[in-house]
Amino acid sequence: MKKIIQNATGIAVDSRLVKPGYIFVAIKGIIQDGHKYIDQAIGNGASVIIYQDDGFSHVERTYRKFIKVKDTRAALSEIASMFYLNQPKFILGITGTSGKSSIVHFVREIIRLLKKPAVSIGTLGVLGDFERHLDLTTPATIDLHEILNDIYKKNIDYVGLECSSHGIDQHRLDNIKFFACGFSNLSRDHLDYHKDLEEYFAVKTQLFKIMKDGCAVLNTDIPQFDKLYKLCKSQGHKIITYGKKEADIKIKSIRKNSFRQIVTWEIKTNIYNSEVDLIGEFQVYNLACAIGLIMSTGINLSDIMEVLSQVVSVPGRMELVTKFNDAGIYIDYAHKPEALEYALTTLKASTKNDLWVIFGCGGERDHGKRPIMGKIASNYADHVIITDDNPRSEDPKEIRQSILKACTNNAKEIVDREGAIKHAISRLKPGDNLLIAGKGHETYQLIGTKKNTFSDKEKVLAISNLYL
């Protein structure tokens, strides 16, 4: 295989991207099967074909190398790691249901505040001292290895990498040289892809088997802690724990201070106090996980704690967009039941009068979470507005109705998302808070096959200015 890699001019899984001398890997996906495009890849100049299924039609094999493997996704990961040889020294992975984007953001920003170049890779793209747009939380296998190789060439040692369950299950992370990996939490998500919550968790835990001789950063306060701890011990990993219970990074107390929080930490028998520009207890947990990941690299703890007050929340995560009529207007990416509950309970605690929420659910995704989210919204918010998120090719009305059926009489349906935002803002009273959930940082709305420009943040600013 090494000789084949050395002679290759590139790698592709899309036959249209194949050029002379390329290795074409036939991936059997959910929608498309790469085996159907082997002829096209050969026609475009592929010199090596990697496949897993027999029985495909193909042109004359003369002068071309055909290699059969058990799993082409796993093979692709190995081939990509051999083609793009270099990876940064400290690749810090994070998995779990919620908090991944915030944690890699905190990792990147804390390290950069310490005057060291750093990059985060995830939902928001590749950001920091090297930037690139992404379409997936965990990049496609070839893209990921190429990005890491480019980061290495820029002499950047520190990378925070979001590790989605899809990325783990599809072998995109198999040959990544993780230095440390963290686990945030587990709740219902992606059950349109995974059979059930147990399978979802089992896939997540595979990250700690992919990592070799690394450090695991684990949350002591989640129900899955004991299983994770046992697994990581069996893999020979060092372990750093965080949480409110006995932990290496112990969260002793959290006090509100206007729109900031004062956190008291106990780490290595030392007490630290830090005032952070973050809202919500869950963000403190995310910050604790980031601290653990950075500690694993050997960076001085005192230096880390010294810069915490300068860290800000990731865009679109409990982001205070503006204050209107003495009411706070927030946007958050919460598109899962537990994330919505976190956001609403956090704001409820600091809302003097009424709490408003606007949200919808994405089409072609887990249907079961829709009524659950409707019930959560009605339980915590005084006013609930159900609107469209990214309906994709599903009937938007059916999505809204599946949410509304679990809501009480405090819920209202407004089809147009911009109209929903306008309706709520025009009715805000002093002491109210408004949460617009589901899209956060996103600047588009997927309706049918169209990707329309739409930003909750921009709409809030434009609408609130109309009423000033």
pLDDT (0 to 100) of residue 49: 93
Same structural domain for residues 256 and 186? yes
Instruction: Provide the pLDDT confidence category of residue 7 given band limits of 50, 70 and 90.
Output: confident
Domain count, the chain: 3
Please say if the pLDDT value at position 191 is more than 70. Answer: no
Q: Is the pLDDT of residue 280 over 90?
A: no
Residues 461, 354 share a domain = yes
Let me know whether 259 and 283 are in one domain.
yes
Confidence label for 65 from pLDDT (cuts 50, 70 and 90): confident
CATH code (residue 58): 3.40.1390.10
Residue 275 pLDDT:
93
Look at residues 134, 214, 127, 138 and name the one whose alpha carbon lies nearest to residue 173: 138
Please state, rounded to an integer, the average pLDDT across all residues of the chain: 93
Q: What is the CA radius of gyration of the chain?
A: 24
Q: What is the DSSP letter of 34?
A: G
Q: Of 70, 381, 283, which Cα lies nearest the Cα of 78? A: 70
Does residue 335 contact residue 438 with C-beta atoms inside 8 Å? yes
Between 66-70, 192-196, 320-324, 460-464, the lowest mean confidence (pLDDT) is in 192-196
Same domain, yes or no, for 96 and 68?
Answer: no
* 121 in the same domain as 34: no
pLDDT digits (tens, 9 = 90+) for 337-354: 988 998 999 899 889 999
Q: Give me the pLDDT at residue 263, please.
A: 97
Q: Could you tell me the CA-to-CA distances from 127 to 89, 186, 248, 333 in Å, in that order?
A: 18, 26, 29, 18
Q: Which domain holds residue 304?
A: 86-310
Phi, psi dihedral angles at 354 (to 5 degrees) = -100, 145
46 plus 187 within the same structural domain: no
pLDDT for 256 equals: 82
Residues 6+ apart with CB under 8 A from 145: 80, 81, 83, 84, 87, 175
Per-residue pLDDT tens digits for 93-120:
999 988 999 999 999 999 999 999 999 9
